[in-house]
């Protein structure tokens, strides 16, 4: 089981040189259709090997949870393996394992996804299994209560025992004070402890309906055969709920800098990060999302980026430095920069150096050469991502579950190619001039571990 978001396009700077002449449509042979019950099915043929990747994405994640029930989306992900009348507890995973397949599941803020990779002849069975548990999940206190303890232990191991995870959780909480992105995907401990069979079933009944899901099938398949299989399996699942549009509270602009620090004796390498709330690919207008993507490459992607060259190579003040842009989100995402100081340098040094680089960019802009290099790298990444069957399935699933269309995804390289140096500077001035959320990870050899993971976020009711 995994927590977190799926990146839209991974970086691959080594192949940037050929990107400009490559194809500008992602998965051009893709086909999509919608069943009568509202289920969208996306088929990406790939005949290089007799295997298929089968994924189902539900448009429901931690940001869709009822107030006071943080973690129920992830909890239900665990419980989806507890069986139906036809396939009792444990049989789902056993069937896949016996056929030499792989499986996994993961929950993020905006979606929950389930994954199988099997030999092509087992695709009908995978579709039957997923269709069955879409409407026939059987839960009892006898299986729910122990699984809640499993999730609590997962939280203790992944968050409460990990200073870096504590900082990320606390930063999210102070970044999104009014928006549900501020709650951890795994949930707050006190709220996990209160989850039960009824809360899980209520979430299941509301969101696990075919008209709120997308099935992605990538591999050695025939489109007509997939249509028949989909009708015979998923097509028989009743459309039992109408989740409606996902309208969430708007996060107000920051009135000033927000800052948080986690100090822990287990920290061996200090670091600092700064983040801003920015438009995602779903909420951004015009070329803003693509410009932010290019900006993140110029500032902090790879050895030729500004932060790496300045802080790591030239000034030798940092061990690492970079930037990121969270583009795949239903609502606004985040833009961030970070640095890890070398011995002899402080977190305050890192902040000053980062601020200097950002200010330089804001004052003088970016060069056409930098923009072209970043765009070529990004487009190359998208092209070569098509070599990965599961990567394509995740790319389309994550994007479709967060408000984008197939056309949006396929045309992404062309949208990136249209970005100009002026677009990048405009995006930087629009968002990086606001006060950031600052997070510090500090070592504290003589202090007990900080307990920030149970810091309940303030709710802005204004």
Number of Cβ within 10 Å of residue 433's Cβ equals 11
Nearest to 208, CA basis, from 39, 393, 394, 405? 39
> CA-CA distances (angstroms) from residue 88 to 92, 127, 143, 204, 234?
8, 17, 12, 18, 19
Report how far Cα 132 is from the mean position of its chain's Cα atoms.
27
Phi and psi of 398, rounded to 5°? -65, -40
CA geometry: angle 213, 215, 221, nearest 5 deg: 165
Assign 318 to helix, strand or coil.
strand
Give the bridge partners for 382, in sequence order.
none
CA geometry: angle 260, 11, 424, nearest 5 deg: 70
Assign 139 to helix, strand or coil.
coil
CA geometry: angle 47, 50, 51, nearest 5 deg: 100
| Sequence-ordered list of residues with C-beta below 8 angstroms from that of 449, at least 6 positions apart, any chain | 163, 264, 265, 266
Which pair of structure tokens corresponds to residue 428? 């930087």
| Sequence-ordered list of residues with C-beta below 8 angstroms from that of 132, at least 6 positions apart, any chain | 84, 86, 87
Under 8 Å between Cβ of 301 and 320: no
77 catalytic residue (yes or no)? yes
Assign 273 to helix, strand or coil.
strand
Q: Which residue blocks in 240-367 are alpha helix, DSSP H? A: 288-300, 306-307, 347-364
Q: Annotated catalytic residue: which of 77, 251, 290, 301?
A: 77
* Residue in this structure with the two tokens 């504290």, named with its chain if needed: 444
Query: Helix 288-300 to helix 347-364 angle, to the nearest 10 degrees?
Result: 130
Which pair of structure tokens corresponds to residue 223? 């489109």
Assign 348 to helix, strand or coil.
helix
Number of Cβ within 10 Å of residue 3's Cβ equals 19
Under 8 Å between Cβ of 258 and 438: yes
Query: Helix 368-385 to helix 421-431 angle, to the nearest 10 degrees?
Result: 90
Number of Cβ within 10 Å of residue 303's Cβ equals 9
How many whole angstroms separate alpha carbon 35 and alpha carbon 10? Answer: 32
Q: Compute the half-sphere exposure of residue 218: CA atoms within 13 Å on the CB side of its CA.
A: 24
Active site residues: 77
């Amino acid at each position: 089981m995994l927590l977190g978001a799926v990146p839209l396009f991974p970086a691959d700077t080594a192949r940037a040189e050929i990107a400009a002449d490559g194809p500008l449509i992602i998965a051009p042979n893709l086909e999509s259709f919608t069943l009568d019950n509202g289920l969208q099915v996306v088929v990406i043929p790939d005949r290089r090997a007799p295997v298929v990747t089968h994924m189902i994405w539900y448009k429901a994640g931690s940001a869709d949870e009822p107030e006071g029930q943080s973690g129920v989306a992830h909890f239900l992900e665990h419980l989806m393996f507890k069986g139906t009348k036809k396939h009792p507890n444990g049989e789902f995973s056993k069937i896949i394992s016996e056929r030499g397949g792989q499986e996994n599941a993961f929950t993020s803020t905006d979606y929950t996804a389930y994954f199988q990779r099997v030999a092509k002849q087992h695709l009908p069975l995978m579709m039957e299994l997923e269709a069955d548990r879409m409407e026939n999940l059987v839960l009892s206190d006898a299986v729910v209560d122990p699984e809640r303890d499993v999730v609590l232990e997962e939280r203790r191991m992944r968050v409460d025992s990990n200073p870096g995870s504590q900082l990320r959780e606390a930063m999210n909480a102070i970044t999104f004070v009014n928006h549900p992105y501020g709650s951890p995907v795994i949930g707050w401990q006190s709220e996990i402890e209160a989850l039960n069979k009824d809360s899980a079933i209520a979430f299941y009944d509301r969101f696990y309906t075919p008209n709120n899901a997308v099935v992605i099938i990538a591999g050695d398949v025939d489109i007509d055969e997939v249509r028949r299989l989909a009708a015979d399996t998923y097509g028989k699942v009743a459309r039992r709920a109408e989740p409606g549009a996902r309208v969430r509270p708007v996060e107000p602009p920051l009135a000033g800098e927000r800052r948080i620090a986690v100090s822990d004796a287990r920290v061996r390498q200090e670091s600092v990060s700064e983040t801003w709330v920015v438009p995602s690919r779903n909420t951004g207008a015009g070329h803003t999302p693509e410009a932010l993507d290019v900006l993140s490459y110029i500032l902090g992607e790879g050895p030729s980026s500004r932060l790496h060259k300045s802080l790591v190579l030239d000034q030798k003040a940092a061990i690492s430095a970079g930037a990121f842009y969270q583009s795949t989100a239903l609502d606004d995402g985040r833009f961030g920069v970070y640095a890890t100081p070398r011995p002899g340098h402080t977190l305050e040094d890192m902040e000053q150096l980062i601020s200097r680089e950002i200010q330089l960019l804001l004052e003088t802009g970016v060069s056409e050469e930098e923009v072209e290099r970043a765009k070529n790298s990004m487009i190359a990444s998208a092209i070569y991502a098509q070599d990965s069957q599961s990567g394509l399935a995740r790319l389309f699933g994550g994007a479709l579950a967060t408000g984008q269309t197939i056309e949006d995804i396929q045309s992404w390289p062309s949208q990136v190619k249209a970005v100009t140096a002026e677009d990048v500077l405009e995006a930087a001035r629009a968002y990086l001039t606001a006060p950031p959320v600052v997070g510090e990870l500090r070592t504290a050899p003589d202090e007990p571990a900080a307990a920030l993971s149970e810091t309940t976020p303030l709710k802005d009711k204004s």
